Each structure stands twice: as structure tokens, then as C-alpha cells.
Amino acid sequence: MTLRPLGRSGLSVSPLCLGGNVFGWTADEQTSHALLDRYAERGGNFIDTANVYSSWVPGHVGGESESVLGRWLRARGQRDRVIVATKVGMDMPGLGKGLTRTQIERGAEDSLRRLQVERIDLYYAHEDDAKTPLDETLAAFDRLVRDGKVRAIGASNYTAERLEAALAVSKTSGAARYECLQPNYNLMDRAGFEDALAATCEREQVGVATYFSLASGFLTGKYRRAEDATGRARAGGVKRHFTERGQRVLDALHATADRLGSRPATVALAWLMAQPAVTSAIASATSTAQLDELLDAIDLRLDADALKQLGDASAG
């Protein structure tokens, strides 16, 4: 597996990042550890989680995913060969919502404890906090980097304007800068990233790790009509894509997969990995069979016809 440089961070990551949002939620601990084992066996080294995962589940308080991952890291002795990314900033029980100095520092300490590590490789601002000055947020992240508790920082759910403003603050102050952006980007959700963010990331050499890479499951091949999503964990996210454009994308995805002897999910991820600005595509699985299908995207090279067919179907 060829690793890709993550911005100017000095980190090199797998083109497929294993999403940990399911750990301790739709994948119990045993299943989660099996997924992590398979991912590592196949050469993967980039794992994404967040402090808030999975606080939305009844009876959960957040931190469940980090704790599951931390126990795997400790049991398997894999710490030195994987890059662990986690986040702070969304509404976390006991910590609140925001990117103040206190929230960032406390959030980091809590995540370090749950992950059972001494350093977070990539620490994201999970979402922008317009109420807290960027100077305060970046200074807090910078202290963590200088103290050796964080290797690099990233931003998730930032607009191009706010990302550029943050990069300017770091340049002026000398504080650590955002080395990675995590945007919602996939064949169904293109405009938000392609309109301005992609150019900023390429110009400023900011890595990109996409989330919702399979459009909440819409692009996995499981669904051919809206009714197929009924009762699923992310039914709402899937059903909103069943439009005329969404059907065109599904048709193109299945046609390409059939022609190349592949699977729709594999093709959808391969398309993302082929985009110039994208460093890694984040995707989660609840079985090793699903994970293998996702990892196959790394070796799938889409030809010009496939890229055009998928690009034309998803345009607009």
C-alpha cells in the first residue's frame, strides 16, 4: 500500500482511512477489534475517531469509540505503526461545545486517557467555533503540539473563508497550522468542497480526508430505491439522495462496477481517491467482508471512461 503525505505534517497515511464512528455503536467491541485487525493486516495505518462518538446513542456519553480503539492499541501493541486522528469541538457531555483553550486542553487530556496513548497524531477542530477567536483556538492547539501531546492539527467542517483565515493566523503568529481538512465530500456531495475548498487545500498544501465518503451508505450498492433504506441506522441520510440525479449516479456506479468486475462501494471510493486534492477517504464498516470491499478501492484504477461517466452523472 502506497502511503500519501498529509499536508506538511510529515505524516504519511493510507488512501483509505478507517472510520471509527461505528466502534462501540453498530460494531460492538469484539467486531471493532476484528475490523482493526483486518485493516492493519492489509497495511492500513490511518484511523479516525472523535471524542463525541457515540454520544447520540441512548445510554452513551461520548468517548465510547476512543475507548474501544484505546483497548485495541494496548492489546495489540500497534501504537507505533498507526496514525490516530481524533477531534474536539462538538457538544460533548461534561465538556460542552466549542474551541476555547479550556475545551481544547481538557478535551485532549480526556482523549489521551481513553486512547491510552501519550500523543495524538492528528487532532481536529471538529467544527468551526465562530464565537472563539481563531488566535485563542490555534494557540491552544499550538501548546499541545509544543508539549508533545499532539503531532499535527486539522480542521473539520470549515468553510474556505474560515480555513484561509485560520491559516493566515498561523502564518502570522507562528502557531501550528491546520495540516488537514475533513470535509463532507463524495459523488453526491461535491459542490461544498469543489467550489472553493479544494483550491485552497491544493494551494496551501493542506491534506484532505473526506467524511461521508459513501454518502451515508447511499453509494455502497445496498440501495436501488428509497424503500431499501427503511429501518437502517442512517435511513434519513440515504433517502435524501433518491432524486433524479441520485439515480443517475447509482446507475453509473453500478455500470462501472459491472464493467470493471468490482463493487459500487469500491468504485465510489476509488473515484474519491482519484481526485487531485484528496489524500484519504474515510469509510467505516461493520464486518470484515465490508472492510475488504472498501480496501479494494486502493488498488482499483479507474480508466478515463469511468471517471467521465461518474463525473458526468454526479455533476450539478
Compute the distance between CA of residue 161 and CA of residue 246 in angstroms, rounded to an integer.
29
Specify the pairing of strand 120-125 against strand 150-156: parallel
Compute the distance between CA of residue 247 and CA of residue 225 in angstroms, rounded to an integer.
9
Q: How far is CA 269 from CA 157, 213, 272, in A?
A: 20, 7, 5
Contacts of 291 (CB under 8 A, 6+ apart): 18, 35, 38, 39, 285
Catalytic residue set: 53
SS3 content of the chain, % helix, strand, coil (to 5): 45, 15, 40
Q: Say if CB 77 and CB 51 are below 8 A apart.
A: no
Q: Which of 20, 26, 16, 58 is nearest to 234 (CA)?
A: 26
DSSP codes joined into one string, 201-241: HHHHT-EEEEBSTTGGGTTSSS-SSGGGGTT-TTHHHHHTT
In degrees rounded to 5, what are phi and psi of residue 146?
Answer: -65, -30
Buried b (16+ CB within 10 A) or exposed e, 109-119: ebbbebbbbeb
